[in-house]
Structure 1
Amino acid sequence: MKKILLTIAVVSTLTFAACNDDDDNTPKTSNLSLSVSGLENLGADYVYEGWIIVGGSPVSTGTFNVNDSGELSRSSFVVDSDMLSAASTFVLTIEPTNDPDPAPSSTKILAGDFSGNSASINSNIVGDFSSSWGKFILATPTDGENTNERSGVWFLEPGMPPQVGLGLPELDEGWKYEGWAVINGVPVTTGKFTKLAATDEFDGFSGPMDLPAPNGADGFFPGEDFLVNAPDGVTFPTDLRGSTIVITVEPNPDNSPAPFTFKPLAKKVADDAQDHVAIDLGTGPSVAITGTVSR
């Protein structure tokens, strides 16, 4: 009987010691909290993903979605304590929902350095649009002169020759500019572009003439004639007076055919606006996003 009791005692001691060893080896975790407003619903194909930068390397803090009201699907994330305490920077990216690449994408939307236990994050990593400016004219060069001249928009400064009409920061990989005309409440693209004095990536609404865009000493310019292939809810040709002209910053690849959150420049065209006359763009409704991360 004594031998049996002794055996039980030894086994119990070893088991207790093993449990203690397991507890000592269990990774310690902490919560990272994210507070931000102004993010939009990315749809089913994309998600937001947070990253902490530790020793120059990115470590994922997890993904989340945003609903149509701007509410985050979650704002608290469990992260390895040692990693979190050593993190220098927080970065938020846009990623494919089914992402085969474990590294961050090029589409970085928010970032900020930690100071103590918090980091103020902002969208300056996309660009500082606070001093952006722009001009455009109403014209339709792809169907000849003096024809439907208020049914096209071109981002340029008129002259002999025309000059660049947009003052915008150069975008990093992962982002592109896109022009829009909001016609009777329907946003209609003028095309995506990365260079301010170059043709954009779209001419699906322009006319048949072999004149893709007005050109000047600095090259061609972004813009579009609205003459053919009108989308649902819009009739071409149109009259852009009373419509709103907008420049957005879009993710690349793009999560949606609709305008994205960032709208640094916008202008409602006056009812008495003249064609071929420069119209100034004003500050748009959404220029920057800010937030806070706590650890």
Structure 2
Amino acid sequence: MKKMLLNLAVVSTLIFTACNNDDDKIPTTSNLTLNIDGLENLGSDYKYEGWIIVNGSPVSTGVFTVDDSGKLSKTSFEVDRLQLAAASKFVLSIEPTNDSDPAPAATKILAGDFSGTNAAVSSKNMVGDFSSSTGKYILATPTDGMMNNERSGIWFLDLAGGSPATGLSLPTLPAGWKYEGWVVMNGTPVSTGTFTAVDMADDNAATSTFKGDMGNGPGYPGEDYIKNAPAGLTFPTDLRGTTTVISVEPNPDNSPKPFTLKPLAHGVPADANDHVTFTMGAGPVKEISGNVTR
């Protein structure tokens, strides 16, 4: 009997040990894989950070950078297995490189809900849907009181009805983003200013270093290029033959150049007259999208 009890004890110990060993082999993490095109290099001061939303709360999946060709420095991330399985959504944000805040920044660029193992992510779900955006503008220089350089300024308004009216139709942006107007002169993009409301003056209306001395211009986004031209350019100028663009910029901004998202653009006609309304077309990038798998 004692021998039988001893044998039973040994078998029980072996079974318990085997079970424990099996438990130890269960992985605690799973891989999250990103397949996203269209992201730009944020420079040294900012980085991208992924997040999964678990029971309504964000959980970081890790950070990465993007080079000038759009290649991600990292596409696969080890994430807690149970949290990843329970995640309802993936979100991508832009964060300061030296980030002391454990929560996501307001500048979220992509998002998508998980359906099984896949989440189709898009800037349309997070920043805005620009598929129906439209724009109009005129050439004029109302801030200098002169009539001899009217093709040196651009204002995003509609003058077709005889009096100024709103020229841009754009969705309201979430926190962390602003619109910015641009004119590309001889390959150099020069800002017209940032704005959030299409029917109000832009943020630098009173402080622009380019405008003239006779006021701030109409209460719409725009700019007069009268003085203090950037290196390589001369103001006043002639904007005919240039390209005008509306971009969507991170706030705070990572670069003095236009961001990837550019929903509206137009080549200013070479024979354009001032105070005539021109219609913008679709910009080169209205959406950034991709897939995330778990």
TM-score for both structures, normalised by structure 1: 0.90
Shift of 1:179: 0.2
Q: Is the 8 A contact 1:134 1:167 kept in 2?
A: yes
Give the distance between the partners of 1:43 and 1:238, measured in 2 at CA. Answer: 31
Give the distance between the partners of 1:146 and 1:127, measured in 2 at CA. Answer: 39
Establish whether residue 168 from structure 1 lines up as the match of residue 170 from structure 2.
Answer: yes
Q: 1:97 to 1:26 in 2, by over 3 A?
A: farther
Q: Is the 8 A contact 1:140 1:152 kept in 2?
A: yes
Give the distance between the partners of 2:26 and 2:143, measured in 1 at CA. Answer: 68
Shift of 1:213: 1.7
Structure 1 unmatched runs, 5+: 1-12, 215-219
Give the distance between the partners of 2:135 and 2:271, measured in 1 at CA. Answer: 20
Establish whether residue 191 from structure 1 lines up as the match of residue 193 from structure 2.
Answer: yes
1:238 corresponds to:
237
Give the distance between the partners of 2:273 and 2:73, measured in 1 at CA. Answer: 47
Establish whether residue 212 from structure 1 lines up as the match of residue 216 from structure 2.
Answer: yes
1:137 corresponds to:
138
Establish whether residue 272 from structure 1 lines up as the match of residue 274 from structure 2.
Answer: no
Q: Give the AA of the match of 1:166.
A: L
2:3 corresponds to:
none
Establish whether residue 247 from structure 1 lines up as the match of residue 252 from structure 2.
Answer: no
Tell me the SS of whatever aligns to 2:84: helix
Give the distance between the partners of 1:231 and 1:25, measured in 2 at CA. Answer: 63
Cα distance per residue 1:246-279 (max 9 Å; x no partner): 0000000000010000000000011100100001
Q: Is the 8 A contact 1:190 1:224 kept in 2?
A: yes
Give the distance between the partners of 1:41 and 1:26, measured in 2 at CA. Answer: 38
Tell me the SS of whatever aligns to 2:280: strand
1:259 corresponds to:
258
Q: Find the partner of 1:179 among 157, 178, 181.
A: 181
Give the distance between the partners of 1:52 and 1:291, measured in 2 at CA. Answer: 15
Shift of 1:160: 4.3
Shift of 1:147: 2.4
Q: Give the AA of the match of 1:175.
A: W
User: Which is worse superposed, 140-149 or 284-293?
Assistant: 140-149
Shift of 1:161: 3.0
Question: In the comparison of the two structures, how many residue pairs are matched?
Answer: 277
Alignment of 1:1-295 (within 5 A): 24=24, 28-124=28-124, 125-158=126-159, 159-202=161-204, 203-209=208-214, 211-214=215-218, 220-295=219-294
Give the distance between the partners of 1:275 and 1:249, measured in 2 at CA. Answer: 27
Give the distance between the partners of 2:217 and 2:292, measured in 1 at CA. Answer: 45
Shift of 1:234: 1.1
Shift of 1:199: 1.0
Tell me the SS of whatever aligns to 2:172: coil
Cα distance per residue 1:17-59 (max 9 Å; x no partner): 7xx58x7498700000000110000000000000000000000
Cα distance per residue 1:161-209 (max 9 Å; x no partner): 3100000000011000000000010000000000111111122200111
Tell me the SS of whatever aligns to 2:151: coil
2:6 corresponds to:
none
State the percentage of identical aligned residues: 64
Q: Is the 8 A contact 1:65 1:73 kept in 2?
A: yes
Give the distance between the partners of 1:26 and 1:96, measured in 2 at CA. Answer: 36
RMSD of Structure 2 on Structure 1 (CA): 2.1
The ranges of structure 1 where at least 4 consecutive aligned residues each deviate by more than 2 angstroms after the TM superposition are 23-27
Give the distance between the partners of 2:37 and 2:254, measured in 1 at CA. Answer: 19
Give the distance between the partners of 1:28 and 1:264, measured in 2 at CA. Answer: 43
Give the distance between the partners of 2:277 and 2:162, measured in 1 at CA. Answer: 13
Q: Is the 8 A contact 1:92 1:108 kept in 2?
A: yes
TM-score for both structures, normalised by structure 2: 0.90
